[in-house]
Structure 1
Amino acid sequence: MIFKKIFNSIWLVFDVVCFVLALIFIDFGAFLILVPVGYICTGLSFAFLGWLSERISDSKGGGH
């Protein structure tokens, strides 16, 4: 019973953790290719995450 609750709580955030890890590895790879490309990629990742969090909060009725 306790393991089922723990598994369900982990499963709720698993896709978000995988998405953020994917962005981290993409940014790391961009830094290995060329440092300015890494900075641009990191900025785009942060912008995308900010936009995505706004979309999620608006769809849940939060925000302003």
Structure 2
Amino acid sequence: MATTTCDATTEEVDADEARAEFEAQVRDALGIGRVDFLEALDRGDFDETDREDVVRLRMLAPFAR
């Protein structure tokens, strides 16, 4: 079995900081706000997309609510 090492660092953020970061990422990628994205996501507007930026935002969405 091969072993892998990683020199990654982590930073703990609170809920407000997570929402602010998500807001910035959504605005950069789609030009809309966090709340608008989450509402569109809940409506199913992004269900059929395979755009990498949207897929990444969909994975982060639970941390931005």
TM-score (norm 1): 0.32
Greater relative contact order (CA < 8 Å, ≥ 6 in sequence): 2
Which one has a larger percent helix, Structure 1 or Structure 2? 1
Structure with greater Cα Rg = 1
